[in-house]
Structures are given as structure tokens and as C-alpha cells.
Chain A
Amino acid sequence: MKYGVIRRLPYLHTSYLHTSTYMFRWIFISTLMLAGQAVLSANTLRVCKSCPVSSIKAAIQQARPCDTVFVETGIYKEGNILIDKELTLIGRGQPVLDGEGKTEIVTIAANHVHFEGFVLRNVGTSYSEDRAGIRLKEVSDFYVKGNRVENAFFGIYLQKSKNGVIDGNEVIGEAKDEVSSGNAIHLWYCDNILIINNKTIGHRDGIYLEFVNFSTVQGNYSERNVRYGLHFMFSNDDVYRGNTFHDNGAGVAVMYSHRIGMFSNHFEKNWGPAAYGLLLKEIHDGQIEGNTFQENTVGIFAETSNRIVYTKNQFIQNGWALKISGGCQTNNLTQNNFIGNSFDLAVHSAGTDNKFDGNFWSDYAGYDLDKNGIGDVPHRPMKLFSFVVSKTPESLVLLRSLFVDILNFSEKVSPIFTPENVVDNAPLMKVVEPDR
């Protein structure tokens, strides 16, 4: 189990530039911690129904710091379990901790806790407190791995914690609406956290970060969360990469957050009147690279977002690949593929200094006589019909009609309604091959 952590280390090493110094510190500390446990060969305790110690609470009480508690298969209904010591708790054969809908189940309130292999079930919805399956309360250097949280209000809740890993957990709920559900993984005022390979299904937000800095969200899978698959609020210098967001209210929302790196994620089938693959609101200096946006109603919706670099992304068969609302400036869109979208680009007001050069547009109709791979005629990705639909959404029923084609063509010849400066001066003739 401990080697599991060590094996992850190179992985951490490759994480985003901004977080690396913090990561190194964390690696150092956790390695020390693990080494300490191994060398001192602390005691182990076993908890099972027929064991001398049959309750987890009792085991925690008996254990000394650095001990390991093994919990065997069984259903444990012990209400709220407080881990207030530096312990390793490992479930063997997926023991179930049942909150019976009344309480929060596990509260971790000590540093250096390793919590692994449990099933946490039935955390009641509360409108007065944010109850969670696992709460980490003002702690650091923790490792929460391979747990499964079912039917919880909040799944895993981190508050004012730092230098920890949330790895390979599954948080599965049956959320119907935003009000009566909590977030699957919730971080509030945290620093330097790695959230990796988790599965979050059927909550309000899959992963929620508020005032969380220098953290990495990687390889997670979010599905059917009623609000967002991943949600950043007031969080800076974070990275998310290689995640998949499938059929959430919206895939990812990045709001009031700066210097966020967004790499190699998949945004799929986020369908609905207010559904986006990625929603950007009041952010700046972000980088969006190598992501795939496929079959979303809107691939990316950007509002008041400045100095964002969009590059090497795939926009495939979305309703709108990219919607840019007012107040977006100095964004650079280059080396992206736009393939088979109903609309490639809808720009509400052009803003200033936005660049759209050097992308591949599947409906580009120009030619390349000098064979340099760049079309000789500039491409206007913003169609007149896209403008019409923004004014009269019902006119969407006329999509692909001959009349609309004629409209678009005449607008293309002499632009009147669409912003003059939304133009790709160097459209690519061939698809940009993604980096492997």
C-alpha cells in the first residue's frame, strides 16, 4: 500500500510548473512520514465483528500515533468517527461504514492520516451543515485512497487543508437538483492537493475548488453531476489534466480564477440549454491545450476572460464549438481543429486583440495554391446565421437550409453583421495532429 504512494511520485513530479515547488515539499514530507512508519514498525490493530476490538472508534482510541488499523469486512454503524491521531486506517474487503442518514461519517482531524479501502454509505442531506462522507479538517499530509462513498450529501470534504492526495475514490450519488445535493469532492481553502483518478457521479459538482491554490486535478471521471463536473472558484495556479467530463450540467466551470492550466481533458455530451463543455468566467492567464470537446451543446463559453491561450484542442460535432461573450480580450486561438460543429464560433462582441489565426476549420472552402499548408484566403468562422440564432434562438430550426447557406454566403462575401476582426488569416488545410 505504501509503495502505492511512492510509485505515484514520478507522476507528481510531472505536474504543472507552478505547483512543483510545493509538490517537492510534499513529497519530501510524505516520504519521511512513510519511511518513519516503516522503520519504527508501529503496532497494527485489527477490527472485525468477532475480533477483540470490534469497533473502529475503539480501535482509534486504543491506537497510538503511527499505528495501522486494519478494518475487516462488515457493516459498521458507529455514527461519526473522528480520527484525531496520526494513523493509517485500511479497510480490507471493503468494510462498510453506514451513517444511516443521520451524521457525517469520518472526520479526519490529524495530520499524516492514511485512509484507504472503505465504503461509506448514507450521509443524510442537511440544509444546516455540510455533512460529508469523509471530512478533512485543517490537516495536512494526508492520503485518502480507494474509498467508495455512496448516497452522501457531500462525498469528500477538505477544509483548510494542504499537502494531501485524494486518489482513486469513487463518489456516487443520485442528485436530482442543485439545492438538495452536495459536491462529490469539495475543497475549501486548500493548498497543494492532488486529486487523482477519482470517479464522481451524480452530485452537485463533481469536484469543487474554492480558494484552492497550487493543486492538481488529474485523470478523474465526472458524470451526471447536476451542476459542473469540475468547478473552480477564486482558485489560482491550479492545473487539471486528463480528466473526462461526460454529460454533466456543464463539464467544467472556471470562475474568478487565474493562471489555471487545462490540459488534455475530454468534454463530452454536455447537452442542455445551459450546458457547456467548459465555462470560463472572469478569469485570466489560463492555458487551454490539447483538450477534446465532443458533442457538447457549447464546447467553451467564455465571458470576460482575458489572455487565454487556446491551442491544440479538438472541437468535434459540438452545437457551438466556442462562444465568446462580451469583454474578452487578448485571447489567442491557434492550432485548434474545428470539425463538424453546427457552429464553430459565436462572438457576441468582438473585443480587442483576440487572435484566431492558424486553426483548422472543416468547413473552410478556400484553397492553397502555393502548397504551404495554409489557405490562401482568410476564413471567417463566425457565420451570419450564428448571429441570427443569437438574436432569435428559434431560427435554429433553419440550420442547414439552403436559405441559410445563401445568407451565410452573402455575409461571407461582404460582412455586415458579424465582427470584422473575427477572422483566421492563416487557416490550415490539414487537421492539426494531436501530440502523443
Chain B
Amino acid sequence: MITIHHLHKSFGKNHVLNGVDLSFDQPGITAVLGPNGSGKTTIIKSILGMVLPDEGIIKVQNEDIKGRWRYRNQIAYLPQIARFPENLTVAELLRMVKDLNTAITHDADLIEYFGLQEFLDKRLGNLSGGTRQKVNLVLTFMYDCPIIILDEPTAGLDPISLIRLKELINQQRMKGKTILITTHVMGLVEELADEVVFLLEGHIHFRGSLRKLKEQTGEGNVEKAIAKLLVTGH
């Protein structure tokens, strides 16, 4: 469960977030959408404590996260670009992350699931982008966290892995987790999301279910609905 209250953040003169109030207290999948620079990534990074807010309070599982770090074991995070220390092997990276977060993991299942066994002893620097994204996914899903945040999860994945990823996300939804996804792939939103948050210029421009989105905009699919939101927003 995440509560964001009155969140402000600016980078220099650029006001990215202007008093965002947002809470994710229901299980299910929320797609956080918005054009580039609308503040999606800033919100996600604020939740993770990577960006420090100028103003406002963020609570994760009812705990103010300011100055804390242990709460992060409640969150599984998939970063946008997967670049790792080049000289470590996949197995070493996994060992390292497990060393840092000693909760119970399902990495073995996931490795098999994505077919990564043969890459375990390869150096990360020698892996292709897609394979790295798979490693990235393993790292994200191997912990059983109540909150999952996925930043552009489909980047670089082959079709089979994409299907597996969707399965995986659905499985997690079944377990009653709170899942946040940012993506530019509207098909994914259509397929997975229960709810949509649409950000524009640092404000929440829309929040509601997919159905509500379609109804409000009068469009049949998400892509067009979002495009319409953008037009009316300006």
C-alpha cells in the first residue's frame, strides 16, 4: 500500500510534480501513463527513495519513507534500462542481490522460466539487451514483495518472453499484490491494467478504471483514449 500526499518536486527551474496526491491501496495493476516529462518516473523514483521530494509525504505500508531504507524490501522494482557491472557473471549478480536482501527468493524457478540457465556463468557485459532484460526480470520477481513497480518492462523482449512476462504479472495479480506499470505500449495497458493514472505536467489528469477511461473519452481503445486526454488536457 502506497500513499502519496501533496508531492512537489522540481529539478532546477523545471517543476516536475506540482502537489500530487495519489494512493494505491487496492490490489491490482495500475498503469501510470503520461507523455515524456510528465513525472511518471519521478513518482516511481520518489516512492523508491531515489528522488528526494521537495515537499510532501510518501508512505509505504503506512510508514513515512523519509530517511528510511528498509521498507524497500517491500517493493520489487524493475528499472527502465538494465545495465549491470560488466565483469560480474549472472550467477554472481544474483548472489550479490540475494546477499543484500536476504528474504526468500524464487530465482531458480524464474531462471528456468526465462531459459537463463546457460547464461549463468556468462559475464553480464557479454549479454544481449534482451537477455539482460530477462536477468532484470528475474531480479525483480524473485522476491515475494507486496508491491511491484515495473518501469517499461517489455523493452527488448522477444515475443515468447513477452508472453511469459504477462503470465508472470497476472500470477502476481492473483496473489493480490499492488502492481504499478509505466509503459508506452498501450496494448499492454489494455491487456493487463485494472486502473489507469494519467499524468500531465506534474498533475494527475485522470485516474480511474479502463472502462471509465473509455467512457469519459468516448473512445473504444486505450490508445485513442489517451490521445484524446492529451488533446483535451492542453
Indicate yes or no for A touching B, C-beta below 8 A.
no
List residues of A whose CB falls within 8 A of some B CB.
none
Interface on B for A, CB 8 Å cutoff? none
